[in-house]
Structure 1
């Protein structure tokens, strides 16, 4: 498994792709939960042969630790674990981030994640400092492009829609784990953007990760994480690595 921090520091390629997304106090935007599907999303069609790459284990049980929580996303074709203190949002819900300039963006929402989980921190006045969720991507050439799209768009939507700072995205790299996932992963960072948070939780920096793979039904599916950096309550690289390592196929 690649070390998250090492790869994030070595970023090279800027990507400003624009797509659509709940209300947490990021940048100057907020986010809202909804049980409405993405306007552009196609319905998940379960079925197809069992994936022989996946070990025989119950995907609805945590793989990181017994006290971790499982997030199920049949629409996203996967399950993943989050720490016990995180909030797992209702299955079938979406998290939206509003566009700073809806007219220019062409949509009210800057970006969307499906079947999300998030972390709120009391020391940050209850502000959510991290989100994870799944994403349906249309029109991509493969998992490499999908991973970069999710990563770059999350960093852009949450931290720097005006592109006032430095937003960079790595080339996608091969990704696989012991749960049968085989695809690509990409990392983005935003620095020098308008400050988000206050006091000990104030920062101008954030990070995002995109993972994409192909399911046994030949669908390209994607997963994203976006989180604060630059303050003492930020999610650790070790925790992020454990979350990423838990991603596994799930058809519901």
Structure 2
């Protein structure tokens, strides 16, 4: 439940921590150009690729989609989204010893994938025939992550990705942040960009959920919205959070304002992160990022409703 909310209550008794930031303003999304090249999945040795052209005066982000070894690369003026058909990385054990802290190309799924998680156009979430996951919010869509052991719901206009698809952000030095079990809002609002996205990642290096979420909120804000390093990033202190369905940990919010208006799609943004300990005793962080200061940004009450739907994945 939100801090200050009474058990069973539907209304927030005090402002959500991330709602206390002033609402920034700016135009929408991102922009980019497309080129094709072969590229292996993250973690594998790859031959040097052709350089990706960028807009004058900017360091380009790239949008990559990989299923198998086929990639689509787009040079974006501000940021880009990386989508890979592989996992986002290992999680850390929740113990004093440590723990806690990316569009798609047409190709066949990797042979190493488990059948239950394979990409199927008739079954985009990759749910097995005998596994039916229902939303807890009427009329919404359920999104699950088998590795991170969670489920959450998103509004019907969101697009649920395959659970093995990784989304994230990278620059010319490589991947910066990534997550799986994702859903996108208004994907393609500008080329190779969505208005918002959500998903879950593992964590390595943090000692507790408070430390982990503090690291993740800032990292995603920088990667998604502060490419120029000229914007202002403000982050809330982590606070204890529990969903209505039993996930407990800490949440934090980072807001990015003053993003340079380098293209018609440049926008300020916000990241909400929540770190919990999963059923295996590992840290996992659920992340939602969204453009702000635009007419169709994700409303704060919708973000709160999505977060309250977070729950353990049964079975």
TM-score by length of 2: 0.62
Q: Distance in 1 between matches of 2:223 and 2:177?
A: 6
Going from structure 1 to structure 2, the CA distance change for 1:22 and 1:171 (only over 3 Å counts) comes to farther
Query: What is the CA-CA distance between 1:79 and the residue it aligns to?
Result: 0.7
SS for the counterpart of 1:156 is helix
Among candidates 41, 44, 52, match of residue 90 of structure 2: 41
Q: Which has the larger radius of gyration?
A: 2
Runs of 4+ in structure 1 off by over 3 angstroms are 2-5, 7-10, 21-27, 121-127
What's the counterpart of residue 235 of structure 1? 298
Matches within 5 A, 1:1-252: 1-2=2-3, 3-4=15-16, 6-9=19-22, 28-38=78-88, 40-41=89-90, 60-65=133-138, 67-99=139-171, 101-102=172-173, 108-120=174-186, 127-195=193-261, 198=264, 202-250=265-313, 252=315
Q: 1:251 to 1:9 in 2, by over 3 A?
A: farther
* Cα displacement (A) at 1:156: 0.6
Deviations 1:139-160 (A, max 9, x none): 1111111112221111110110
Q: CA RMSD in A?
A: 2.9
Aligned length: 218
- Structure 1-normalised TM-score? 0.76
**Greater CA deviation, 27-36 or 141-150?**
27-36
Instruction: Give the structure with the higher percent helix.
Output: 1
Compared CA separation, residues 145 and 43, structure 1 to 2 (3 A): closer
Aligned equivalents of 1:59, 1:247: Cα separation in 2: 17
- Listed as ranges, the gaps of 5+ residues in structure 2 are 4-14, 24-61, 65-73, 94-130
Q: Deviations over 1:93-130 (max 9, x none)?
A: 1013121x41xxxxx11211112100116776784110
Unaligned residue ranges in structure 1 (runs of 5+)? 11-20, 45-57, 103-107
In structure 1, C-alpha distance between the alignment counterparts of 2:262 and 2:159, rounded to whole Å: 21
Shift, 1:174, TM fit: 0.3
Alignment partner of 1:92: what SS? coil
3-state SS in 1 of match to 2:304: helix
- 2:195 is paired with a residue whose SS is strand
